[in-house]
A = this chain, B = another copy of it.
Amino acid sequence: MQETMPEPTGATFFEQIAHRQKAQKTRLCVGLDPDLTRIPEVCKSSDRPIFEFNKAIIDATHDLASCFKPQIAHYASEAAEDQLQETIDYIHGKGVPVLLDAKRGDVGSTAEMYARELFERYGADAVTVNPYLGKDSLEPYLDYADRGVFVLCRTSNPGGSDLQNLTLDSGETLYEHVARTARDEWNSNNNVGLVVGATRPEELRRIRNICGDMTFLLPGVGAQGADVKEMMGAGQGGGMLISSSRAILYAGSGEDFADEARSVALETRDEINRYSN
């Protein structure tokens, strides 16, 4: 296996990502959503089954990953904050940045507490946040200028259209308004990205047209079935982190599960690269 190149010290999240995309030739973000009902039997004998599972996945895929993305609910539901911390520290030991997927959104004074949780307690390099409470709810994250802040814009779930696709009296949709506001009002530290579902290339293209070269986190490849070629065509012109979780994590269930995970991660990375400019 190719060794991961360490990123330069003191680099911002987006600089680290740019470095890794060049050095490791990958835009793949490996989601770490451990589910105790799905992880292989071989991990379950440990008293830290979540960390053991993650460690095997990280060992098998870190050179293919632009970053890892643990989703915090999968740890909190199991009272496994300690295993989340171990996971993040282990990823950092491999020289890979961590995007902690938490989708927080609260008023300013409470948002400061969440920012401390995610950036200082856990040491995340980037996070996801929800824009429904507006600018002062985002500022405590944005103030960490070296970290990445991915604002939910257009999500890939069925209910994503319920609010996000509403048309405003200006003629634009709510998700387009969020994209434009992220560009014009929230990005003064150049540390904003957007979460855009990979399953809707037409909407991805509209958001790319609004946001220039801003980096998008694109979930929906793998288990959710996004078409990689269409996605890459629609998203070109700026940074893309393409996230896959379940298709990689649960590629196998036997003792060789980590090898199976690596195979799927490799295929996914290569398919993405096939359509990269």
Please report A residues at the B interface, Cβ cutoff 8 Å. 33, 71, 73-74, 76-77, 79, 81, 103-108, 110-111, 113-114, 116-117, 120-121, 130-138, 152, 155-164, 166-169, 171, 174, 177-178, 181
B77 and A117: CB pair below 8 A?
yes
**Interface residue from B113, B131, B159, B177 paired with A76 (Cβ < 8 Å):** B113
Query: For A111, what are the chain B residues with a Cβ–Cβ distance below 8 Å?
Result: 73
A132 and B74: CB pair below 8 A?
no
B178 and A163: CB pair below 8 A?
yes
If A33-B110, A157-B108, A168-B169 touch, whether A132 touches B73 (CB-CB below 8 Å) is no
CA of A267 to CA of B22 in the docked complex: distance in angstroms? 63
B130 and A159: CB pair below 8 A?
no
A135 and B107: CB pair below 8 A?
no
Query: For A174, what are the chain B residues with a Cβ–Cβ distance below 8 Å?
Result: 163, 166, 174
**Interface residue from B71, B161, B168 paired with A134 (Cβ < 8 Å):** B161
CA of A146 to CA of B161 in the docked complex: distance in angstroms? 28
What are 17 A-B contacts with C-beta separation under 8 Å?
A71-B110, A76-B117, A77-B117, A107-B155, A107-B156, A130-B130, A133-B159, A133-B160, A133-B162, A134-B158, A134-B162, A137-B159, A162-B181, A163-B178, A166-B168, A168-B168, A169-B171
A73 and B106: CB pair below 8 A?
yes
Question: Closest CB-CB distance, A201 to chain B, in whole Å?
Answer: 19
Q: What is the chain B residue whose CB lies nearest that of A162?
A: B134
A-B pairs with the 5 shortest C-beta distances?
A134-B159, A134-B162, A73-B113, A107-B157, A136-B159
CA of A165 to CA of B5 in the docked complex: distance in angstroms? 47
CA of A107 to CA of B73 in the docked complex: distance in angstroms? 11
CA of A168 to CA of B163 in the docked complex: distance in angstroms? 11
Q: What is the chain B residue whose CB lies nearest that of A159?
A: B134
**Interface residue from B135, B158, B162, B169 paired with A167 (Cβ < 8 Å):** B169
Query: For A106, what are the chain B residues with a Cβ–Cβ distance below 8 Å?
Result: 71, 73, 103
